[in-house]
Chains A and B, each alone.
Chain A
Amino acid sequence: MEKVCGMNERVRKLRRQSLDTPPTLSIERALLMTEAYQKYQGKVSVPRLRALAFKHLMENKTVVINDGELIVGERGPVPQAAPTYPELCCHTLEDFDVIDKREKISFAVSDETRDVQRDVIIPYWQGKSIRDLIFDQMTPLWKDCYEAGIFTEFMEQRSPGHTVCDDKIYRCGMLDFKRDIAEAIAAIDPARDADAYDRREELAAMDIVCDALIAFAERYAALAEELAEAEPDERRRAELRKIAEVCRYVPAHAPRDFHEALQMYFFVHLGVITELNTWDSFCPGHLDQHLDPFYRKGLEDGTLTRESAMELLECFWIKFNNQPAPPKVGITLKESATYTDFCNINIGGIRPDGSDGVTEMSYLLLDVIRDMRLLQPSTNVQVSRKNPDRFVLAAAEVIREGMGFPSVFNCDMVVEELLRQGKSIVDARCGGTSGCVEVGAFGKEAYILTGYFNMVKVLEITLHGGTDPETGKKIGADTPPAAELRSMEELLAAFRTQIEHFIDVDIAGNNIIEMLYARYMPAPFLSVVTDDCIKNGRDYNNGGARYNSRYIQFVGLGSITDCLSALSLHVFENKTFTLEELNKILSANFEGYEKERLTLLNKTPKYGNDDDRADRFIQDTFEIIYNAVNGRPTPTGGTYRIEMLPTTCHVYFGSVIGATPDGRRAHDTLSEGISPVQGADRRGPTAVIRSAAKIDQVRTGGTLLNQKFSPSVLAGERGLGALKDLIRAYFKLDGHHIQFNVVSADTLRDAQRRPEKYGDLIVRVAGYSDYFNNLTPELQNEIISRTEQEEF
């Protein structure tokens, strides 16, 4: 199964270590954080408290250099060790048991760790964590909605992040940032600036964290020297000395060469993901564009070859795979059941001046992806109409390998989406996509995902006049009962009212959560590397960035469209049954109503077939959610917008909904992203694309379209060329993103039966890839049931 191409012995060994080490939970960070809070809390301002805590971490956390590695630094004390963040979420001992014992996405918890949690962490943090503050602040209605599965909340266990590094860290070191900070402090007018105190404290905090990261690197330098002393092998000794030299130079200064550039990024990465457990960790963004100058320089001055650059890149890749996403519990686990931490590297695209951004480094990165076959980092190609076909074909060849990497984005559309939001043209071009599919102005924007929103659940409640039939609780707005909804227009109006009602509840909660982070959980380190936090003297979590967006991610667009199509045809047009009769059929979960179920399933126009009778409802739904959310202000000066992606939330959201008018049985999964309902698309990939392109995607911050191909469709040059044309056509139609699973359903079924044979089978889930064996059976079945585009 496993294809090993260009990896050398060193890389192979490090990769094996990364793959074979079981994930563990590390209590070290929690302990250090607690020590810092015990020492400083109440004595200094909150930003300074966070900065001093960061400093304490950087000065005391374990430093480790794995045997043979060239790029150094771990978040935990060893590879695959994930820390906890008790200031955000203080796990109970029961949580630890679950995390330790659960079948999927588990982390080994040692007895010692458990003891520390019981004796030190829980006594200090219980009732004080952000999660506690959030649930304390939420209204009973918010809690009812949350428990009913109307929406999820990203920030109840993980901090805002959702952002990406731009090119500044290749131009400036921490010492340069310190100079900028000093200038910003000097510019404060304490007599006239009402925010002078807040600004100064924030900037002082930023100054502390710059020093802390330098100190962290110095510790790595010292360790490398120490190891070099004891190293018998001459070659390795030289490597360790080189590592020491690199770590003494970056991150204090801007990198001078390729090796330093990679190490620079990784220190910054560790800074961000150690400061807080930012959702969507952190990401180097346009890595090929950032590295290309260093690569060319290295080739010119003879310090680098293609092979040595490849080796460094592969060592760099493994560092990402060593960092599993911090352990999640409860609904947060359900909506994102994966070890992947969503660092998503952008390849290709365009340059800040608008010209073709593809370089030899882009092709090198594609080779790295194909070699490494690792879950992390995720990768995508940014395809512009300006990029050569060679680039798209090279990406298609990697896609054909079947790992779901790289996903494919419409770079020109991404720029247009950012421009629509008010970004400058250069900031838009420097932007890209991160996490799963989300657009952002890299290095200049806080674009925070707040949580998923369950449109189909809202329709279910609409069909019951505001009551959730699963619990009997009235949590919706007052809209007419089913008997009084006499036309599709009336039904859509009621649906709109319910959407607006639940969005209000969701946003009211989000607004409080946003302020809790702004007040109590600033992120001075992330602020240093995000424009214009230094200039504004304001934190990333408090609107300090140049641009600030908050997203609500809508789930189940395909399902809702098919439901509305079925209601329109069978209830209001053909009058096959009344709405009340339909409700009865649904509440019976189709028991005794097989004919009706099949009628709804098979005799209804469905989304994904380029059938306007169905697709008009995706447009209706889009307008309803767009108008309910887009443009609303947030308390720290941001703007709400919409996105359409699910991670694994379509499984969870389906589990809280009874049978639906599209013929779906109770608690079955929903459709994901903007993909059709699994199996509903029967007219091939072009029909799916035509349907998806009817959504006005430019008004979103990202949509996600999954396609599953049987490997034979992509065989040969013909298959590859057709895939390229398919991608180009979707993007010509203003599609945002498309990704491919290239694996047959038969293979997946076999993998379910004999998991031991398929240990390294990687599949595309939603905005990420995962090992098939890591997925829950529900998710495995969902992927199997997606329509497989066959050979014709």
Chain B
Amino acid sequence: MPDAAALVTNIQKYSIHDGPGIRSTVFLKGCPLGCLWCHNPENRSYHVQLTRKPEKCIGCLSCLAACPSGALAAGDSAPLRDEARCTGCGACAEACPALAIERLGRRMTAAEAFAEVLRDAPFYGAEGGVTLSGGEPLSFPDFTLELLRLARREHIHTCVDTCGCVPWENMERAAEICELFLYDIKHLDSREHIKYTGADNALILENLRRLARITKSIWLRVPVVPGINDAPEHVRRIGELAGELGLSRVHLLPYHAIARGKYAALGLEYALPDVPEPPSAQMEGLCDILTQLGLDARTGG
């Protein structure tokens, strides 16, 4: 669908950890999962959001003047927002000179997003290209498929980063075009998966099995969160699953806490209990487990 549109939060250039080579990663807004450690919380909601950084506010009240819904009122340090009245139009963010309010999510057609991706074509070289990420790109199949098609037409390598929690049909359609999937596996235990992501993993694992029958160009990606999914035995089971499906490459992504600030700016609670970042020795140990299974295992994207 040529005019398929989606909410894009960012098109990240010089992205070197979302697939091979230098890539541009298109982040789509909206995700069926709610992983407690999510480091892109701005891409969870399917709606435009406004972040607030009151420490940047200079009290010029430009936002009040700009708001067409009367949703803002002067406050002690920064203007207060009446969420019921706010329509998320972003006029306040547009008006704020101090970048104390920023709008997250811009509705773009696939063609518009691709024009941005195409600008960096000279950098992609033999390996790089475009990655769709999010959020969950396969929750927006029309946009995603159209962008993949446009990229293929220009001989730009294509990659989709998915959580797998999508209707099989969406994934099947993407598999016809997309050259590489980055497929996230959070937990193999259903109850644990529900506890930490808010959703069952049955569909995710089923989709993975079906996808692996169509293509082997899949890199499994496992966020390693201490105390939650970092048991050597659990990692071994993921490795065995990969072997069983004929997939050779697994990436272990160490949990990091740098996204905490984003939660505050979004007014969200950071619900993950205090977990440490996994030390590199632990990551190496987990990697070794996978290597011994004959897999191409790596730490990081």
Contact = CB atoms under 8 A, between A and B. Distances in A.
22 contacts: A594-B58, A595-B58, A596-B97, A598-B97, A598-B98, A599-B97, A601-B97, A602-B98, A690-B119, A713-B16, A716-B300, A719-B16, A721-B21, A722-B21, A725-B125, A725-B128, A726-B22, A789-B14, A791-B17, A792-B17, A792-B18, A792-B25
A309 interface: no
Nearest to A715: B300
A725 B17 contact: no
Given A599-B97, A690-B120, A729-B122, 17 more contacts: A595-B60, A684-B12, A684-B14, A686-B13, A716-B300, A722-B21, A722-B22, A725-B125, A725-B127, A725-B128, A726-B123, A728-B125, A729-B22, A729-B123, A732-B122, A791-B17, A792-B25
Nearest to A713: B16
B13 A684 contact: yes
A686 B128 CA distance: 13
A683 interface: yes
Given A595-B58, A686-B22, A792 B119 contact: no
Contacts of B98: 598, 602
Nearest to B94: A603
B99 interface: yes
Contact of A718 (B17, B97, B119): B17
A715 B122 CA distance: 23
A685 interface: yes
The 10 closest A-B pairs by CB, nearest first: A598-B97, A599-B97, A684-B14, A595-B60, A729-B123, A684-B13, A722-B16, A686-B13, A729-B122, A725-B125
Interface string B1-45: 000000000001111111001100100000000000000000000
A726 B22 CA distance: 8
B122 A733 contact: yes
Interface in A95-127: none
Contacts of A601: 97
A603 B62 CA distance: 13
Given A722-B22, A729-B123, A598 B16 contact: no
Interface of B: 12-18, 21-22, 25, 58, 60, 62, 97-99, 119-120, 122-123, 125, 127-128, 300
> From DSSP, what is the main secondary structure of chain B's interface residues?
loop
Quick one: which of A594, A719, A729, A789 has the most chain B CB within 10 A?
A729
Contacts of A690: 119-120
> From DSSP, what is the main secondary structure of chain A's interface residues?
helix
Contacts of B99: 598, 602
B24 to A, nearest CB: 8
Nearest to B95: A603
Instruction: Please classify how large the interface on chain A is, using the bins under 10, 10 to 19, 20 to 34, 35 or more.
Output: 20 to 34
A235 B52 CA distance: 73
Nearest to B24: A686
Contact of B13 (A594, A595, A687, A713): A687
A610 interface: yes
Interface string A648-690: 0000000000000000000000000000000000011111011
B257 to A, nearest CB: 15
Interface string A440-478: 000000000000000000000000000000000000000
Interface in A540-574: none
Nearest to B21: A725
Contacts of A728: 125
Contacts of A683: 13
Nearest to A598: B97
B119 A610 contact: yes
B97 A603 contact: yes
Contacts of B18: 792
A603 B100 CA distance: 12
A726 B97 contact: no
Interface of A: 594-596, 598-599, 601-603, 610, 683-687, 689-690, 713, 716, 718-719, 721-722, 725-726, 728-729, 732-733, 789, 791-792
Contacts of A686: 13-14, 22, 120, 123
Contacts of B21: 721-722, 725
A716 B12 CA distance: 21
Contacts of A716: 300
A726 B13 CA distance: 12
A585 to B, nearest CB: 13
Nearest to B120: A686
A599 B60 CA distance: 11
Nearest to B15: A792
B14 A685 contact: yes
A792 B15 CA distance: 6
Nearest to A594: B58
B62 A725 contact: no
A598 B95 CA distance: 11
A598 B300 CA distance: 38
A722 B14 contact: yes
Nearest to B123: A729
Contacts of B16: 713, 718-719, 722, 791-792
Contacts of B25: 792
Nearest to A724: B125
A792 B14 contact: yes
Nearest to B61: A595
Contacts of A791: 16-17
A687 B38 CA distance: 27
A791 B60 CA distance: 34
A603 B120 CA distance: 24
A687 B15 CA distance: 12
B13 A602 contact: no
A191 to B, nearest CB: 63
A721 B124 CA distance: 12
Contact of A725 (B58, B97, B123): B123
Nearest to A687: B13
A791 B254 CA distance: 14
Contacts of A602: 97-99
Contacts of B125: 725, 728-729
B122 A595 contact: no
Quick one: which of B60, B62, B99, B125 has the most chain A CB within 10 A?
B125
A169 B21 CA distance: 44
Nearest to B125: A725
Contacts of A722: 14, 16, 21-22
Contacts of B122: 729, 732-733
A791 B99 CA distance: 23
Contacts of A684: 12-14
A602 B127 CA distance: 35
A492 B128 CA distance: 41
A595 B97 contact: yes
Contacts of B17: 718, 791-792
B59 to A, nearest CB: 9
A690 B25 CA distance: 17
B219 to A, nearest CB: 13
A602 B99 CA distance: 7
Given A686-B14, A725-B128, A595 B119 contact: no
A259 B120 CA distance: 48
A598 B13 contact: no
A151 B199 CA distance: 66
A55 B52 CA distance: 74
A690 B117 CA distance: 13
Contacts of B58: 594-595, 598
Contacts of A610: 119
A349 B116 CA distance: 34
A295 B48 CA distance: 65
A595 B97 CA distance: 6
A711 to B, nearest CB: 14
B62 A726 contact: no
A599 B12 CA distance: 25
A791 B62 CA distance: 34
Contacts of A719: 16
A725 B17 CA distance: 14
Quick one: which of A595, A722, A733 has the most chain B CB within 10 A?
A722
